[in-house]
Amino acid sequence: MKLVLASASPRRAEILRDAGLHFHMLSSAVDETPIPGESPHEMVLRLATAKAELVAARAIGPAIVIAADTVVEIEGRILGKPHSTDDARAMLERLSGRTHAVHTAITLIRLPDAERRSAVETTQVTFTHLAPEDITRYLASGEPFDKAGAYAIQGRAGRYIPRIEGCYFNVVGLPLARLCQLLEELGWNEE
């Protein structure tokens, strides 16, 4: 049974490759506009499910489609990918010296029978205090601009994160241990 990653994310692909999993990638662009009143947990689950369904409609079984969506939340506010340098700076200033939550939902759909599994993983991430020159230097690296919350824990921002509580891979964008648990529940085994 093949695995199909419903994503074009190089970070998610790297996590799977580094774990020794073989997979194919199919893009899964969906409208990621938040729905008013929707919690971060509800939002990531809705988006991961939409991505999985979109790719499952195009994939050929037997396969398991894997989709994920990640958001950063601080004080109930969702921080998506920054739209500008000023937006990224504001996000990093908000995260500076504080703890926030990273939520990643994963949805798996087994084909051809459409059996599903979903889960949401949450990790608490603590940033050190960021001086204005730290933020300027980080923005100049270009790293923040396609990342939820304007940072990449696995990159240069790692130097500003002294503590996490929960799954590291969740912060990168794909909670690996939870994913493997759901794959086993769907009867997948490495061959």
pLDDT digits (tens, 9 = 90+) for 95-140: 999 999 999 999 999 999 999 999 999 999 999 999 999 999 999 9
Partners of residue 103 on adjacent β-strands: 71, 122
> Per the domain annotation, does 102 fall within a domain?
yes
> Per the domain annotation, does 160 fall within a domain?
yes
Residue 191 pLDDT exceeds 80 = no
Beta strands in 59-161 (DSSP E): 63-74, 77-79, 99-111, 115-126
> Per the domain annotation, does 191 fall within a domain?
no
Q: What total number of domains does the chain contain?
A: 1
pLDDT 10s digits, 56-68: 999 887 999 999 9
Q: Can you give the residue range of the structural domain that contains 130?
A: 2-185
Distance (Å, whole) CA 183 – CA 107: 10
Distance (Å, whole) CA 152 – CA 171: 8
> Per the domain annotation, does 29 fall within a domain?
yes
Query: How far out from the chain centre does Cα 160 lie?
Result: 20
Q: How many CA atoms lie within 13 A of 4 on its CB side?
A: 24
Query: CATH number for the domain including 103?
Result: 3.90.950.10
Catalytically active residues, by annotation: 69
pTM of the full structure: 0.91
